[in-house]
Structure 1
Amino acid sequence: MSWIVLIASGVLEAVWATALGKSQGFTKLWPTVIFGVGLIASMGGLAYALRTIPVGTGYAVWVGIGASLTVIYGMTFGGEGFSLVRALLVLGIVACVIGLKLTH
């Protein structure tokens, strides 16, 4: 169960990071609200998961999921350019996250 919560929390990290960018310094209401709710839920899930998953592994997986999804979102919808190199680097992050899970 902890791994499922950790993965969901990683997804929520991408949600709050994206909302933070869209909040324009907390001047837009709904992105700011989404940021706050996403942040609290993401951190709460991370805290729950770290009760049974080692902190180094859990944190790295959480950040890896959030970072990968945030970059993918940016390339897909945010005007950040897509390139083969960027895609391969994101795949590298994903491979490392999977490797951490498999070696736990």
Structure 2
Amino acid sequence: MDTDEVISEIGTAMENLLEKDENGFSWDLENKVKKRVLIDNDLYHLYSDREIEEQMYWYSLFDDPELTEKQKIGMLRTLIDKLTQWTEIELSDDVLLWRKHI
């Protein structure tokens, strides 16, 4: 499974979460997760607080063309960890196995 597939799988799981509970991933929580992903991977300098808080969905973090595959993997690790910690998201076994083995 590559990073794009993991992002897609997380997106599907996020849609399912929001269908079950529209408050399952609030803007405040999304901003908290995005900041944590960037901070934990020393990438906070890429975006201003305003961009993070007002103009960006979680998956947009991965759009920067200068991100390396290694950086994306680190970001996805943090994203998966925080989503499973802070939400009721149900990630696929494929994503959880990917996280375990990277």
Whether TM exceeds 0.5 here: the answer is no
Q: TM-score, normalised by structure 2?
A: 0.34
Greater RCO between the two (CA within 8 Å, min separation 6)?
2
Q: TM-score, normalised by structure 1?
A: 0.33
Structure richer in helix, relative to its length: 1
